[in-house]
Structure 1
Amino acid sequence: MTPIEIGLLAIALMLVAIYLGMHIGIALIMISFGCVAVLRDPEIATRMVGAAVNDSISDYLFGVVPLFVLMGMLVAICGVGKDSFDVAEWLLRRIRGGLGMATVGSNATFAAITGVSIASAAVFTKIAVPEMMRHGHTARFSVGVVAASSILGMLIPPSLLLIVYGVLAEESIGKLFIAGLIPGLLLTFLFCLLIVLMTRYWPSFVGQSQVAEGLRNTETVASASKKALPIATLILLVLGGLYSGVFTPIEAGAVGALGAFCLALARRRLTLAKFWQVLVETGHVSVAVLFLIMAASLYSRMLAMTGLPGGIAELMSGHALGPYQFLLMYIAVLLILGCILDSVSILLILVPIALPIAQAFGMDPIWFGLITVVAVEIGLITPPFGISVYTVKAALDDRSISIKDIFIGVLPFIGCMFLLLALMIAIPGISTALVR
């Protein structure tokens, strides 16, 4: 077999292994080791595994993973999600569809200090869905807004997906965080605009929300300010320091974790038992991510050894396929895999293959990365996998709301995400204006 044929076989074996239920990290390591052993010899494959494990996470940069995960865990237990929703609900209480926009806005705020979509989905299912349904919104609209807006956590920095992409692409995580700001805010705006339009032109789907009910909210300027101040301070501390260049991404993660720790202590939400639980969960998530990064590093080296990325680029050039044809094919594959795999697994499998081809076409790696993340995010809310949808279902107390209802509820919002994807492709400055 030629090296390129071995590379293609490695991809096929990878998909089969994942379909059969093998852990993605184990599959990456085993298949990569086997392919290198066939290409060279088992001794070289063994040394390559050791080198990949050592080199992939020995860099100081990887401290960003546990720090931001710790910050997100601490924020989740100190009530920031509920406070942000209360403030947004109070501000938008007189607007028809205001509760839906409050959910989107508070989810965007929560995303700006956690970066984990699953956490957002779980928190706001408990907070926002009962409130929206009490005010007259339909179940499908209520769960659809929560599931769709939860994906903002993967785009608005700090984002775990952007960290993983930055590691795989060897691109500045700080620049990726800054670049994700405009697309994240634009998607938030598109969601809010969609809610306004649906409230006016599709009331049967949204439900007849009683605006007067919103006036029962007992918030005042003083109480809303008291709730908003800690949230605003934490966001300013982390993102302000990061964007101004005062902090590196790792320092921003450390300062954010310390700020979230102090906030949890000040609110008396952090007992010793909860703190131990936070540390254990942070360890589980961080180790899982870092293990996947080690496996992906070996996988990338194996693919480079086979010459598959370069071979695909030459094949496309030989068939007169331009950069946009390649990009459309790449997005189609992302969307297909998004229906059956989780987001991190998709990045680990495709980025090592696609990024060298994109760079051969002269594409900006930051622009390419943000397009990748948005396309992968769509997979978070599309059937049959839709991990955010299943998270919402797991967090619901209402058994009358089915998985089908949640998928139907997110359909209009998927259209907004495709619109954002089209705008980012047509206007690259949306992704790169702040960093280039």
Structure 2
Amino acid sequence: MSPVEIGIAAIAGLMVLIYLGMPIGVSMLTVSFFGVAAIRSDIVAVRMIGAVANDSLREYLFAVVPLFVLMGLLVTVSGVGKDTFDVFERAMKRIRAGLGMATVFSNAIFASITGISIASASVFSRVAVPEMTRHGYSRRFSTGVVAGSSVLGMLIPPSLLMIVYAVIAEESVGRMFLAGIGPGILLSLMFCLAIWLMATFRKDFVFSAAQDTGDIGNLNLLDIVFKAIPILCLMLLVLGGLYGGFLNPTEAGAAGAFGALVVALIRRSLTGRSFWRLLVETGQITVSVLFLIMAASFFSRMLALSGLPNALADLLLSSSLGAYGFLLLYLVLVIMLGCLIDSISIMLILLPIALPVADAAGFDLIWFGVLTVIGVEVGLLTPPFGLSVYTIKSSMDDPDLTLGDVFRGAMPFVLTMILCIAIIVAFPPIATYLARL
């Protein structure tokens, strides 16, 4: 077999192993080892796996992963998510479907602190859904809003997916964070517009009664200020330090984790036992992410050794498909895979193949990364996998709420995200302007 054929066989083998239920990281390591051994030799494969483990995990940058994960968990425990919702609930109570929009903006702000979609879905399913249903919103719409807006956690910086993409694509993490600001704001506004349109033209979908009823928010100005201070302080600490040039991404993560710890201690929402559980959970998430990154790096080197990415680039770009035909095919594949496997795994499997093609096509890799993240996040809302949907269902613990209800409620937001992708494809500066300043 030629090296290119071995590369194709390795990808096919990877799909088979994943289908059989083998963990993604183990599958990638297995096919990469045998692929390198077939192209070169067993000795080269053994040496390469050791070199990959050393090269891919010793970077100072990777300290950002546990720090942002810990910050997100501490913020969740301290109740900052509920406070964020309370502030926006009070601010938008006079707008049609204002509670739905308050959930979107609350999730956007919460995302700028945590960077984890599942954390947003878990928090706001318990905070926003009961409040929305109490004021006349349908349970289907309420859970759909939470599911849809939870994806902002992986787009608005700091974002764990942006970090993973930056590592694989060898781009600056800071620039990737900057690239997420414009699309994050755009998607938030598009979600709000979609909510307003549904509340205007599909009232039966949005409201369980004929109209939104009930008095919303009894907070006075002092209460709002008190609730907003921790949110603003954490945003200023992390984003202000990062974009002001005072902190690099790793230092910003450390500062944010410390700030979130201070907030949790001041609010007395953290005990010694719960803090230990958070540290253990942080370690588990971090090890999982870093192991996947190491496996993806080995997989990427095996593919580069086979010459498959370059052959694929030549084939696609010289065919009638063209550069944007490849982009459309790639995004469709990303969204389809999102129905089956988790976000990070999709990126780790596809990017080693797609990045050389995107680079050869002349695409800005930061812009390509933003499109990838949004496409991957669509998979959090689509059946049968729909991780955000399953998170909301498990967090709600409501036997009358079915997975079908949540999926149907999230579908308008899936369509909105696809439209957002189309807009960013048509107008790349939305993603690249700040990153390329």
Q: TM-score, normalised by structure 1?
A: 0.98
Q: Contact conserved, 1:71 with 1:253, CA < 8 A, in 2?
A: yes
Aligned to 2:338: 338
Aligned to 2:56: 56
Aligned to 1:375: 375
1:210 CA drift (Å): 5.6
Aligned to 1:327: 327
Q: Contact conserved, 2:136 with 2:213, CA < 8 A, in 1?
A: no
Q: Which moved more, 1:89-98 or 1:118-127?
A: 89-98
Provide the alpha-carbon RMSD of the alignment: 1.0
Amino acid of the structure 1 residue aligned with 2:45: A
Aligned to 2:385: 385
Q: Contact conserved, 2:331 with 2:372, CA < 8 A, in 1?
A: yes
Distance 2:7 2:137 in 1: 51
Q: How does 1:31-430 map to 2 (within 5 A)?
A: 31-207=31-207, 208=209, 213-215=214-216, 217-430=217-430
1:356 CA drift (Å): 0.7
Structure 1 residues 212 and 394: CA distance shift in structure 2, 3 A: closer
1:397 CA drift (Å): 2.5
Q: Contact conserved, 1:68 with 1:114, CA < 8 A, in 2?
A: yes
Secondary structure class of the residue paired with 1:95 = coil
Count of residue pairs brought into register by the alignment: 435
Secondary structure class of the residue paired with 1:400 = coil
Distance 2:416 2:210 in 1: 23
Amino acid of the structure 2 residue aligned with 1:37: A
Secondary structure class of the residue paired with 2:246 = coil
Q: Contact conserved, 1:135 with 1:210, CA < 8 A, in 2?
A: no
1:303 CA drift (Å): 0.4
Q: Contact conserved, 2:74 with 2:264, CA < 8 A, in 1?
A: yes
Amino acid of the structure 2 residue aligned with 1:82: K
Distance 1:214 1:353 in 2: 54
Distance 1:274 1:98 in 2: 35
Distance 2:365 2:332 in 1: 19
Structure 1 residues 209 and 15: CA distance shift in structure 2, 3 A: farther
Structure 1 residues 344 and 396: CA distance shift in structure 2, 3 A: same
Distance 2:214 2:111 in 1: 28
1:54 CA drift (Å): 0.5
Secondary structure class of the residue paired with 2:126 = helix
1:213 CA drift (Å): 1.4
Q: Contact conserved, 2:309 with 2:357, CA < 8 A, in 1?
A: yes
Deviations, residues 262-299 of structure 1 (Å, cap 9, x unaligned): 11111111110111011111100001101111111100
Amino acid of the structure 2 residue aligned with 1:371: L
Q: Which moved more, 1:317-326 or 1:80-89?
A: 317-326
Deviations, residues 65-113 of structure 1 (Å, cap 9, x unaligned): 1111111111110000100011111111122201111111111111110
Distance 1:397 1:154 in 2: 25
Q: TM-score, normalised by structure 2?
A: 0.98
Q: Contact conserved, 1:135 with 1:209, CA < 8 A, in 2?
A: no
Q: Contact conserved, 2:84 with 2:231, CA < 8 A, in 1?
A: yes
Amino acid of the structure 2 residue aligned with 1:427: F
* Structure 1: runs of 5+ lacking an equivalent: none
Percent identity, please. Answer: 57
Amino acid of the structure 2 residue aligned with 1:363: F
Distance 1:77 1:97 in 2: 28
Amino acid of the structure 2 residue aligned with 1:411: M
1:322 CA drift (Å): 1.8
Amino acid of the structure 1 residue aligned with 2:142: S
Distance 2:210 2:374 in 1: 31
Distance 1:145 1:212 in 2: 18
Deviations, residues 148-175 of structure 1 (Å, cap 9, x unaligned): 1111101001111001101101110010
Amino acid of the structure 2 residue aligned with 1:343: S
Structure 1 residues 297 and 102: CA distance shift in structure 2, 3 A: same
Q: Contact conserved, 1:95 with 1:211, CA < 8 A, in 2?
A: no
Q: Contact conserved, 1:28 with 1:299, CA < 8 A, in 2?
A: yes
Q: Contact conserved, 1:52 with 1:294, CA < 8 A, in 2?
A: yes
1:211 CA drift (Å): 5.1
Secondary structure class of the residue paired with 1:180 = helix
